[in-house]
Amino acid sequence: MTSQQGAVGRLIELGFSQYEAQAYVGLLGREPLTGYALSNVTGIPQPKVYETLRRLTAKGVVAALDGEPARFVAVPADQLLADLEESFRERLAGAQRELASTAQPDGASGYRVLRSYPSWLAIEQRTVEVIDGSSRHVYISVNCARPAVIAAAVGRADARGVVCDVLHFGEPIVTVAHGRTVRHDSTRGVVYRRHQARHVAVVADSADVVWAVAENGVDWQSLAGRDPLLAALAKGYIRHDIYVQQIWNEFHDVLSERWGPGMQQLVGELSAPPAAGQGAVADRGRGRSAS
């Protein structure tokens, strides 16, 4: 694809018609051209070229010079882009005002719209897109059979200067210059009832999130979207898991002696129902410590 074809494609993405984009690019950087000459340069049919020039002139994208026959010149590209940006901002502000006036009243119930990807390939692809779209900070926890594709996306983000905090299971999957990689060491060598479970959780810039789990290591369930609430939940999950692993790395001997390998006894204690009267004692203890 030539640079001119690329420029035409970009203008079409910005709302220009095919002929409008061709006409503008054909005029850009040239001496003023007649419609006939522009048709020869761009391949726009002559019956269409004058109609296209009239529309572009009305939009202020092309200027018509006095004379017979009329000749046309394109406004500079930086001026065109500045005008488009200003127009977009005005339309965006208008849409915000109109949408706000039709929004649900405060206190009314509503819905949060999230995506669900049922296959690992789709989850992996969306995870990579979220990481590749990041600009400031990525949190990721990954425990899957083949993390190389996700690790490569983290590497690209790190190369852009994005801070990447990575929690991994097993051998390191990536080295980062911005951020940290932490191994989930507390579960190493420990066989849990659902040790085959796999997951990936990623949050980019506190907004874009993917959270997926396969309890049996095969059948995946996921939630994904640009949702601040889900992002806060997933980020808190990843950060607290990182904190626990850092504590484990510093005090694993003490923690293993108190709660056994992988702190399995702690998990059992937390999931067991309290003995009769134990809850009240615990509550009174928390009250004293709080005072």
Other CB atoms closer than 10 Å to residue 266's CB: what's the count?
13
pLDDT of residue 286: 40
Structure tokens at 29: 């950087």
pLDDT at 67: 86
Q: What is the mean pLDDT of residues 191-210?
A: 82
Q: Tell me: pLDDT of 145 over 90.
A: no
Q: Quickly list DSSP for 136-203.
A: SEEEEEEE-S--HHHHHHHHHHHHTT-EEEEEESSS-----SSEEEEE-GGGTT---TTTT-EEEEEE
Q: In what order do the strands lie in the sheet with 163-168?
A: 179-183, 163-168, 137-143, 198-204, 208-214, 221-226
Confidence of residue 285 (pLDDT cuts 50, 70, 90): very low
The answer to whether residues 126 and 220 touch, using CB atoms and an 8 Å cutoff, is: no
Question: At 196, is the pLDDT very low, low, confident or very high (cuts 50, 70, 90)?
Answer: low
- For residue 105, report the phi and psi dihedrals to the nearest 5 degrees: -65, 160
SS3 state of residue 209: strand
Give the per-residue pLDDT at 106: 67
Give the per-residue pLDDT at 256: 81
Better pLDDT: 59 or 287: 59
Question: Does residue 264 register a pLDDT over 70?
Answer: yes
Residue 218 class from Cβ within 10 Å (0-12 exposed, 13-18 middle, 19+ buried)?
Answer: exposed
Single pTM value for the model: 0.63
